[in-house]
């Protein structure tokens, strides 16, 4: 939306964005970009993120019929938006606590991917590590259940440059994957926070992997049989036998997440978040 408002030429993707915006307006759906601007600030700095956020807000308040005209091919329907005031100076680059934890989990997934272990051994090792040495991170565990699978087209490009001889590029790829996880965990938090309220939350993304993961996340939290739902979702990537084993392990792990004994053990961890990040980065830099 911010790109459209800045006057960028309309291509197929931006036309779809205009359609989403028009759809949201006429059904009274509010758009919350939250994590996207934290990610932008992380990569390009606060000034760029705050300017982009201001442009997004201006675009969000534009005449909805202009967005509809864009959908139907009137490329000049929305003039380039001139910011009506100086952008706010939110500290969007401040490290999000959730992102830092997701980054640790992403570093562990990348480390296991670079190991000689089998697909199933990697998955089991990750879940054991979460249970014994870290925290139970549901989105990261589910991402790994796709990423480590032997038949997994969605894994392509998830950890960009992981095998690059330039290990800084490998680290950058892991950081990018941690943002994917943060988008997912933010969605889960919002849904859980809504409780039994009449609100409905929609996840919109052009990233096929994220859409697959969102469906997995909510199959686990369904009111039916989450283990059966998860097994059915994984069987195409793992085969029936391994999907059954992984689904059982995942559900068992997620059921332990709220136990008080886990919280006490986690609070007594000998390593701080900063130390876990440093250790994870050292391991990735030492592997190719």
Per domain, the residue ranges of the chain are: 2-71, 97-286
Tens-level pLDDT at each residue, the chain (288 residues): 888 888 888 888 999 999 999 999 889 999 988 799 999 999 999 999 998 898 888 888 888 888 888 888 887 777 665 655 567 788 888 888 999 999 999 999 999 999 999 999 999 999 999 988 888 888 899 889 989 998 876 677 788 899 999 999 999 999 999 999 999 889 888 888 887 888 888 988 888 888 888 888 887 766 678 888 889 889 988 999 999 999 999 888 877 766 766 666 666 677 889 999 999 999 999 987
pLDDT of residue 95: 82
Whole-model pTM: value is 0.87
- Predicted confidence at residue 280, as pLDDT, reads 96
Query: Which positions ≥6 away from 1 have C-beta within 8 Å?
Result: 17, 21, 31, 56, 59, 60
**Region for residue 195 given its phi and psi (left: phi exceeds 0; alpha: psi -120 to 50; beta: otherwise):** left
75 vs 204: CA distance, rounded Å? 23
Q: Own/partner pairs for 128-133, CB < 8 Å, 24+ apart? A: 130/105, 130/253, 131/253, 131/256, 133/269
Percent helix, percent strand, percent coil in the chain, to nearest 5: 65, 0, 35
Phi, psi of 286 (to 5 degrees): -90, -10
Give dist(CA 137, CA 253) in Å, integer: 9
Sort 160 into a burial class: Cβ within 10 Å, 0-12 / 13-18 / 19+. middle
**Quick one: pLDDT at residue 182?**
93
Determine the angle formed by the axes of helices 167-194 and 208-220, rounding to 10 degrees.
Answer: 40
CA distance 278 to 261: 27
């Amino acid at each position: 939306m911010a790109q459209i408002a800045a006057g960028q030429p309309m291509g197929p993707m931006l036309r779809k964005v205009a359609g989403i915006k028009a759809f949201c307006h006429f059904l009274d759906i509010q758009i919350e970009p939250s994590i996207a601007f934290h990610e932008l600030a992380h990569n390009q700095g606060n000034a760029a993120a705050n300017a982009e956020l201001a442009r997004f807000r201006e675009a969000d308040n534009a005449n909805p019929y202009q967005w509809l005209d864009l959908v139907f091919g009137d490329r000049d329907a929305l003039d380039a938006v001139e910011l009506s005031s100086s952008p706010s100076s939110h500290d969007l680059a401040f490290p999000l606590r959730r992102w830092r934890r997701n980054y640790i989990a992403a570093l562990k997934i990348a480390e296991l991917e670079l190991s000689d272990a089998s697909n199933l051994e990697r998955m089991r090792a990750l879940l054991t590590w979460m249970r014994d040495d870290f925290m139970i991170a549901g989105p990261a565990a589910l991402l790994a259940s796709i990423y480590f699978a032997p038949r997994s087209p969605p894994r392509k490009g998830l950890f960009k440059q992981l095998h690059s001889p330039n290990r800084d590029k490998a680290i950058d790829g892991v950081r990018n994957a941690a943002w994917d996880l943060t988008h997912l965990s933010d969605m889960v938090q919002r849904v859980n926070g809504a409780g039994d309220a009449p609100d409905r939350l929609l996840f919109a993304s052009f990233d096929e992997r994220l859409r697959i993961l969102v469906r997995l996340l909510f199959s686990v939290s369904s009111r039916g049989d989450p283990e059966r739902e998860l097994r059915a979702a994984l069987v195409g990537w793992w085969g029936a036998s391994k999907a059954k084993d992984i689904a059982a392990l995942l559900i068992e792990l997620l059921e332990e997440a709220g136990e008080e004994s886990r919280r006490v053990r986690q609070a007594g961890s000998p390593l701080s978040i900063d130390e876990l990040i440093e250790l994870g980065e050292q391991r990735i830099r030492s592997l190719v």
